[in-house]
Amino acid sequence: MTESQKGISLGSLKWLWLTVFVLAADLLSKNFAQEWLDYGVPVALFSGLDMTLLYNRGAAFSFLSEASGWQRWLFVVIAVVISVVLVVWLKRTETRQWWLGMGLALILGGALGNLHDRILLGYVVDFISVYYQSYFFPAFNLADSAITLGAAIMIIDMIFLEKQNEDAESSTT
């Protein structure tokens, strides 16, 4: 009897190792930034990339960062709901859909990393600062990078690879 016949399906939950890796790397890097960097003081790594410790009380690009504090709990609730949805989606993802599984796991790891900060600290620790001449991209962290990479992988999967999977399925039936 197979797992699906027993009613037990792990789907792509095997990707949770990637979620744990992203979460651990994110928390360790943020701990490093808080221990070794002074708030708001850039440390140049090379032209175009600094490490600058900043605290983001808002969401992406500091959205709602100037609000009175209520946004913290709004973003906590949103992150929890999104995390639950991602776990369910990951569980329902077929094992052969490994690009989708990888993308979901990266997004989940990043969401949990930022959720951790928001709950325990009241803000998200950002420390990576990318710039070109006088244009500075908003500071971010490894969790944000994992979320962005995961979303890009999912988009590529949906645009290019899903069609290949459908074609392969139709040729075998």
Rg (CA), the chain: 19
**Does 39 fall in a domain?**
no
- Would you say residue 85 lies in a domain? yes
Tell me if 110 is assigned to some domain.
yes
Average pLDDT value for the chain: 86
Question: Would residue 126 show up in a list of annotated catalytic residues for this protein?
Answer: yes
Q: What is the pLDDT of residue 5?
A: 46
Catalytic one among 50, 117, 126, 157?
Answer: 126
Structural domain containing residue 152 = 18-25+49-59+66-136+143-162
The pLDDT value given to residue 168? 55
Which one is catalytic: 26, 50, 144, 157?
Answer: 144
Give domain status of residue 127, yes or no. yes
pLDDT at 1: 44
Q: Which helix (H) or strand (E) holds 136?
A: strand 135-136
The reported pLDDT for the residue numbered 14 is 86
Q: pLDDT value at position 173?
A: 57
- Residue 8 has a pLDDT of 45
Q: What is the pTM of this model?
A: 0.83
| Sequence-ordered alpha helix ranges (H) in 2-48 | 3-6, 16-36
Percent helix / strand / coil, the chain, rounded to 5: 65, 15, 25
User: Does any domain span residue 6?
Assistant: no
Low-confidence residues of the chain: pLDDT under 50: 1, 3-8
Residue 42 lies in a domain: no
Per the structure, the count of domains in the chain is 1
